[in-house]
Amino acid sequence: MPLIIPKDLIVEEVLERENIFTMRDSCASKQDIRPLSIAIVNLMPKKEETELQLLRMLSNTALQINIDLVRMESYNPSNSDIKRLKAFYKTYEDIKNNKYDAMIITGAPIETIAYEKIKYWEELKTIFEFAKENVYSTMFICWSAQAALYHYYNIEHKVSKEKIFGVFEFDKLKENKIIKGFDDTFLVPTSRHTYVDVEDFEDFPDLEVIAARPDTGVSLVTTKDDRFIFNFGHWEYDKYTLHDEYIRDISQGKKINPPQNYYEDNDPKKEIKIRWKSAGNLFFSNWLNYCVYQETPFAIETIEGKSVSKFGGSSLKDAGQFAKVKKIIFSKEDRDVIVVSAPGRRFSKDTKITDELISLSDKNLKIDELDKIIKSLEEELSVQIVYRDTQLKKIKNRFLSIAEDLKLEEFWKDELQFVFEEIENSVDKEFIVSRGEYLNAKLLSKYLNYDFVDAKDIIIFDSEGKVDIEKSRKAIKKHIGENKKVVVPGFYGSDNNGDIVTFTRGGSDYTGSLIAYALDSKVYENWTDVNGIMTSDPNQDPNAKTIDKLNFKELKEIIDKGAQVYQGDAIKPVEEKNITIKILNTNNPKNHGTIIKD
């Protein structure tokens, strides 16, 4: 109850900050006392259990309260005694001419059913409209809170992946007289499959979210004048209510986790801890005292309706409907808060604008994603083209420098320029990698005035990627033969389709060995930048010496130890015909080098 204190004894700001509720003596002297009139619209299947729970909460006050129990006339629940309902419950027809200080509309286990498919939805909408006009403050509990938000504000609920089940802790998001005296955090029993996101209230300045969590959605919402209280929890629940629900769901074969933060150590076999009753009693007491008793007029028949008018999409589907809505709004002076939906269907095959916008949003998102991908690819393409052109120019200048120094510029322009156009436009790695040997062989053949024989015409690979020795031998004989002066690029050949195939690095050794083998050469000279095969790496050991002679077995042993002196596969062709291999130094041609022969 409020304290009656002299005016200006304590400044208003301090009273408000300290949560001290007061009434001026001038008001108290004029105040009459009368019982509050409260209607309970009981939608729960177990009517008697819900009655006891709510009446217990309402009795924890010094106020006198008259209760009317209300049922749905359009639906008879199977779990309730019809005779008892008719004896103790009223219908809308019985109360439609009444005024109430307060009304409670309970939840119902039908939250996953579309509102329009609920058997008593039309009757419940009538009661919602009745509450707006004839009740000073209405509390909607759990499902009815969601249904009322949908009806008054067109706010949709969402279905949770798992049942929101247990006793959840909430923080006060803002101060409000309905949670006056609450701790900063408080507990709320909750049992539902649906939720409403806090973001859905951003466009409704009349609504204040008092408590919410990301995993449960909102828990407590009020209108700014506290005429509507949307309570998503169940402070009225008894000790065993959640337990009984859990056992019922398990017995029906439903997959469900035990209610959270309810049993000791969250173990259904252990004791149940009641930790919500103090907050629940204070919540109902605050509602009756601050939102009802202290606000509702003494002459209950003078209660003014809460004007919130919602027009659905079908009511605003075209200009003609807009004109009708305007006429309706202006027909009463108190229609100040208007809530509207997007245009609905104009005919059976028409589409709701919201559905169109959802589809449009999806397309915009996809377009944005693709646009970002395209822009990213375009940027990457530009970068790669710059890198490619820079590298291509570097390689081209290298060969052009050789050609210019050899006075072969004209030959370069006439015969070799197009090779770089092929490289630029090709995605064949084997072809591109082979062009180093190709261009060098072209330049050398021109410089020597020798014929050029392309390796792809004489080194043939089989379908397994191995050199076909016999086919290659015949091709070498055909294109080179005896007493012919030619230059051949190493490192590559071709498959049966004529596509370029490269050896592993060092494959030019193999090319030379195959040609020596095919032509029955006496000697195969392999020129490099060292004086033959050395006893150690001359770049690291200044005392390294040339090995004068080796047999093929010794050469293999050196190669097997990791010395990169000769390509291993290139030994077999020359070894088969005991062709002498000479490893010689291009920069020191007078040095005898290393001779390899059995």
Longest CA span, the chain: 134
578, two tokens: 């005991």
Nearest to 104 by CA among 59, 157, 154, 51: 51
User: Distance (Å, rounded) from C-alpha 552 to C-alpha 482?
Assistant: 27
Runs of H (alpha helix) within 76-197: 82-88, 92-95, 121-134, 143-153
- ∠ at Cα 154 (139, 165), nearest 5°? 55
User: Token match 């690029």: residue?
Assistant: 489
User: Distance (Å, rounded) from C-alpha 277 to C-alpha 152?
Assistant: 30
C-beta separation of 245 from 166 below 8 A = no
Runs of H (alpha helix) within 406-487: 409-411, 417-425, 429-448, 469-479
Report, as residue numbers or ranges, the catalytic residues.
Answer: 142, 234, 236
User: Distance (Å, rounded) from C-alpha 163 to C-alpha 109?
Assistant: 12
- ∠ at Cα 231 (229, 237), nearest 5°? 135
Burial class (CB in 10 A: 0-12, 13-18, 19+), 243: middle
C-beta separation of 594 from 549 below 8 A = yes
**Torsion angle defined by CA atoms of residues 253, 254, 259 and 265, in that order, rounded to the nearest 10 degrees:** 50
Q: Which amino acid is at 123?
A: E
C-beta separation of 546 from 531 below 8 A = yes
User: Token match 């204040």: residue?
Assistant: 208
Q: How many residues would you count in the chain? A: 598
85, two tokens: 């309902």
What residues form DSSP beta bridges with 528?
585
User: Distance (Å, rounded) from C-alpha 400 to C-alpha 407?
Assistant: 10
What residues form DSSP beta bridges with 105?
41, 140
